[in-house]
Amino acid sequence: MRKIIYACLFSLGFLNLAQAQQPPVNSLYMFDQLLINPAYAGAQVQFSATAVHRNQWANFPGAPKTSSFSTQTTVARNKVGIGLIFINDRIGVHNDNMIYMAYSYKLEMPVGELSLGIQGGMQMIKSDWDLLKTKDPDNTLAGITSNTNPNFGTGIFYSNRDFYAGLSVPYLLNSITTEPDLTLSEGNRERVYWMTVGNKRPMGKDFEIIPQALIRLQKGSPLSFDLNTHIVYKDAVGIGMSYRIIEGIVAMFELKLNENLHVGYAYDMTTSALQKYSNGTHEIMINYRYKIPALHKGLECPSYF
């Protein structure tokens, strides 16, 4: 059974190469939505830098490992948001690097703010087929192959003090080119549509509850969603649980160390058949925020939660 799972994992990796694998979902997505929606650029007003590392299916050979880094801020008196995104996603023999620039323009609404965003960048995939260990060597799967594909996307994001909602298509191009010596000279990637929504409600003097949802739609794939709830104490400590359809349950913890530094941790408890071979998924996050006087003087910044 373990050998069968390994084979399926490597096959999944090959299919991801042909279809240009979409960035995986972070369990702590609500603290860095720039990864899935360019309209989120500048939503935190002040300069914000976030690093996330996700070790999926711990102790499982060839399992996905994803690292991301993003920065964002507002300019032009909070009318424009700009952001930079870098994602490294490794699975099996494949190493996928993505770098994108994001831009958003903000419109003041009677209650809240509506942001329209676009992003553009490159995806660079490198595959080291020599890492494959097969019973019968196949010369067609040998050496190192790589390809680079441009892409762009768009999104909208609405928010006020207690509510947010977003809709995005981060990667609009659905055709890619691969190396000539691969089996497929052209692959096809179906667009993924992301929808997010969240609402903050007070619970007494010191507590707040924040229910949130993330929905993913893709042609040819079943509906996927996350439902989660955070309970926050004095806007400093958050504890949450999330349910991810098919995959499992997620426990989350977040802590605001001071006005500039925020850390988070999530543990995904796998409920599928993989739970026999994996110790779950670990995810850590570090966020740093700083109000630049020349850009953000007199502007109100939202809370961490």
Residue with the bigger pLDDT between 98 and 221: it is: 98
* CB distance 159 to 43 below 8 Å: yes
Tell me which residue of 74, 75, 78, 56 sits closest to 66, measured CA to CA. Answer: 56
Q: Which residue is listed with tokens 């373990």?
A: 2
303 domain residue, yes or no:
no
208 domain residue, yes or no:
yes
Distance CA 1, CA 164 (A): 44
Distance CA 235, CA 20 (A): 39
The pLDDT-based confidence of 189 (bands split at 50, 70, 90) is low
pLDDT over threshold 70, residue 15: no
The strand pair at 261-270 and 47-55 is best described as unpaired
Segment 207-225 mean pLDDT? 90
197 domain residue, yes or no:
yes
Strand partners, 233: 207, 237
79 domain residue, yes or no:
yes
Instruction: Report pLDDT for 141.
Output: 64
133 domain residue, yes or no:
yes
Distance CA 22, CA 279 (A): 24
The pLDDT-based confidence of 275 (bands split at 50, 70, 90) is low
DSSP 82-114: EEEEEEEEEETTEEEEEEEEEEEEEEE-SSSEE
Instruction: Report pLDDT for 12.
Output: 43
Q: Which of 146-155, 194-203, 238-247, 276-285 has the lowest mean pLDDT?
A: 276-285
Q: Which of 54-63, 200-209, 247-256 has the lowest mean pLDDT?
A: 54-63
- Choose from 46-55, 125-134, 144-153, 182-191 the range with maximum mean pLDDT: 46-55
98 domain residue, yes or no:
yes
Q: How many domains does the chain have?
A: 1
Tell me which residue of 47, 55, 22 sits closest to 285, measured CA to CA. Answer: 55
Distance CA 61, CA 14 (A): 16
Distance CA 85, CA 170 (A): 12
Domain interval for residue 132: 2-296
**DSSP annotation of 3:** H
The pLDDT-based confidence of 224 (bands split at 50, 70, 90) is confident
pLDDT over threshold 50, residue 267: yes
pLDDT over threshold 70, residue 153: yes
pLDDT over threshold 90, residue 151: yes
Q: What percent of the chain has pLDDT over 70?
A: 81
Instruction: Report pLDDT for 158.
Output: 97
Taking the CB of residue 161, how many other CB atoms lie within 10 A of it? 11
The pLDDT-based confidence of 246 (bands split at 50, 70, 90) is confident
Instruction: Report pLDDT for 11.
Output: 41
In sign, the C-alpha dihedral spanning 264, 267, 268, 274 is positive
pLDDT mean across residues, the chain: 84
In sign, the C-alpha dihedral spanning 245, 247, 251, 257 is negative
CATH number where 255 lies: 2.40.160.40
Distance CA 80, CA 72 (A): 11
**DSSP annotation of 225:** E
pLDDT over threshold 90, residue 8: no
- Taking each continuous run of H as one helix and of E as one strand, the counts in the chain are 2, 17
301 domain residue, yes or no:
no
304 domain residue, yes or no:
no
